[in-house]
Copies of this chain bind each other. A is one copy, B any other.
């Protein structure tokens, strides 16, 4: 037995396997996931496992490594979130989201930090050695709303799209603020004296970190789109580039101390549209599937590790500090949302209702980001107290808030997500209104949202598409594209229905006969109408069948490294069928 040799990959594989099996387990019993969010169940599994490890070894189980979290577990989730981000609601509400993410987070950090410092002054609590800076540092890490936790809960409660994007967008974009404040306070803690210059430099850093991240992301995104122009001959490695470039953008941003989350979101949102047009349909299925798979596994691992890391002797318990942390987190967030929404509502027609405000405030879940940041703190006397407080806040938000938010949404009758997407008619009207508003804004000289959107679209079709797309024709209307996609799906479904139904080969055979060039379809149809049991027709059908089966004869069975069996150029075979058919007539 040579365990040492294979230890690293073996243990990683086993952890992933455990996570996946746990996921399967929950879904086997159908009622469980509808009551308790999956994140709670996973933390619970982690707690049990941590308890077992603690019991067996009699020492604290291993704590989730911050590096592993930030370098390997977080990027897949953010990539998935960015790639599948509904871009229209996101950009429509970008102002509100930024306000919550930047001003709201700063408000929370200072609010929590200063009020905890006030608590520390009470002599009875024995906390006088916790300085203001340490409290602010703690505030900066505990204020960060966690995208992973938010996603895990909000996906299951199906609130309306605007509410969803407000909470989710905030949790993604507050990364830049959190990173800056956390690093600022950490360096202040180590400085002998703080000059006002440092404070101003800190303010400047916000913009550098946030916008720098976006810039890095966009550069990598465009490079990725450009690269996929040239992958026509080796379809097999196409999906790779989507992952490689977005991961590189994250790592590069992290390397320069910029916001990696912003970078990967900008990268994935930027490249999506071009990559989709360049790569094959199967590659795209693979990209989408793998993103979901990867983020799902990461997410599962994070919550299990959270549970495991909770058990152990890292904690210093202090009732007042921990209780007040939970209370302040709730209170300051609620106040922040109220105040900010008041300003937002003054400038918008489509206001945020008080029910929505409640859900936004209540949905501010904390998760693995806080947890990793608190372990990254430099060693000082009260670190264990901070760890304990962070753990309690996370467990409180995920368990109490996460489990009660669904009943609350039901109780308050919060506006739900539309069950159906807009109809084609609606879509046309929306498009029409967009153009109209862009025109109005242009005339009135107001550089608003629609004006910029129009300009960007112009820039895109004038320059970007020509550089980044392989086959650049006149761009098809998205409605035409949608219809085409629909037809493809429809065709598959009907082919499948043909086989599911009665008499599998007969109707579907005829339908593939029907589905062809116009003239020849008529011929066969005529025959069909003429007489359905005529042996002559049957012979004809057999002929069609033999000709339709031409595809089998062409599929080479042997192994090849670079192609999948049956992978051929799209649009070539149908032409061939047409030619064959014309010959036979």
Contacts and interface: CB of A to CB of B under 8 A. Distances in A.
A548 B490 contact: yes
Given A24-B230, A418-B556, A490-B577, 14 more contacts: A5-B67, A81-B559, A151-B561, A155-B562, A236-B292, A288-B564, A292-B563, A424-B549, A486-B548, A486-B551, A490-B495, A490-B548, A496-B574, A497-B575
A499 B86 CA distance: 27
Contacts of A14: 248
B556 A421 contact: yes
Contacts of A424: 549, 552
Interface string A237-276: 1011100100110011011110000000000000000000
Contact of A282 (B289, B499, B500, B566): B289
Contacts of A13: 244, 247-248, 251
A512 interface: yes
Contact of A491 (B28, B494, B556): B494
A175 to B, nearest CB: 16
Nearest to A525: B525
A259 to B, nearest CB: 14
Nearest to A77: B561
A419 interface: yes
B552 A421 contact: yes
Interface string A199-240: 000000000000000000000000000010011011011011
Nearest to A154: B559
A17 interface: yes
Interface in A144-176: 151-152, 155, 158, 161, 164, 168
A159 to B, nearest CB: 9
Interface in A505-521: 505, 507-508, 511-512, 514-516, 518, 521
A297 interface: yes
B561 A152 contact: yes
A540 interface: no
A220 to B, nearest CB: 11
A71 B552 contact: no
A283 B559 CA distance: 21
A331 to B, nearest CB: 30
Contacts of A421: 552-557
A289 B286 contact: yes
Contact of A5 (B254, B282, B560): B254
Interface stretch (A341-349, A384-392, A477-485): A477-485
Contacts of A81: 559
A499 B514 contact: no
A489 interface: yes
Interface size class of A (residues with CB under 8 A): 35 or more
Is chain A's interface secondary structure helix, strand, loop, or mixed overall? helix
A263 B548 CA distance: 40
A13 B245 CA distance: 9
A581 to B, nearest CB: 11
6 contacts: A6-B251, A16-B244, A24-B231, A161-B557, A423-B553, A511-B514
A236 B289 CA distance: 7
Nearest to A248: B13
A113 B489 CA distance: 62
Contacts of A118: none
A1 B71 CA distance: 16
A264 to B, nearest CB: 13
A421 to B, nearest CB: 5
A85 B155 CA distance: 41
A375 interface: no
Nearest to A241: B20
Given A6-B255, A289-B282, A507-B518, A492 B492 contact: yes
Interface in A1-32: 1-3, 5-6, 8-10, 13-14, 16-17, 20-21, 23-24, 27-28, 30
Contacts of A518: 507
Contacts of A152: 561
A44 interface: no
Contacts of A511: 514-515, 521
Contacts of A9: 71-72, 247, 251
